[in-house]
Amino acid sequence: MTPTAWPAEAIWEQVFPWLPDFTVDILPEIDSSNSELMRRARAGQHEPTLMVAERQTAGRGRMGRVWQSQPGDSLTFSLSLPIAPQDWSGLSLAVGLSLAESLHPDVRLKWPNDLWMQERKLGGILVEAASMGGRSQVVIGVGLNIRPRPADGLNTPPAALTECWPDATAAAALARVAAPLIQTILAFETTGFAPLQARFEARDVLKGRRVHTSDGLQGTSRGVSASGALRLQTDAGVVDIHSSEVSVRPFAEDQP
């Protein structure tokens, strides 16, 4: 297999004006890029870092799910940034929006942190935070399916980026998303989610659809609030769902 030519230098040159101590690490294999950057943050290493893992042996998704990656089939990377926003609410939505807008008009968003395409999951986001010695560090993990993969054991059938971008590769996708994503996160530290609300709703796959949550609520999604909460119209009124540990799914009969 030909080694992947990652655009590390080009990304570094784009990001350097905003983050002069920024580094890009390309690792052939690791347990989890998020786990590694969290370990570094807890050890007092706060340099802004983009870590790409060609293969993850213990990749992690939201709510403890496993995200496996093999070279070429997917793009898995994590970002570690020393930011301290006044309000963390909506950060995963801001990340998803940046990725979707960079990748393709057909990529849509499922609250709170999934990328969808044609009712199937294209990718996921895991946001973690570490605080050591009064300093705050966020670690954001991203997994994207580049090529088709089996649906075995998955709750939602997978989509692949090559379906809407036939020439897509992991390296080309990284080149598209990395710098805009970092810029979005740095802006979020100051302005929060509110300026992104309308753009998120333009790609929101749940808005206007009947959904049910993992903690027993049912209703119609009314989009997201200015803080990134899911607004659910129930029989008892509108409920704002803030917890990213709640899973939300459309009812089967409401799926196109």
Active site residues: 62, 121, 249
Contacts of 235 (CB under 8 A, 6+ apart): 219
Contacts of 94 (CB under 8 A, 6+ apart): 184, 185, 188, 193, 196, 228
Hey, what are 184's tokens? 């979005």
The Cα–Cα gap between 232 and 119 comes to 20
* 74-81/135-145 β-pairing: antiparallel
Task: Choose among 167, 171, 166: nearest CA to 144.
Answer: 171
Asked if the bond preceding 105 is cis, omega within 30° of 0, the reply is no
Contacts of 133 (CB under 8 A, 6+ apart): 44
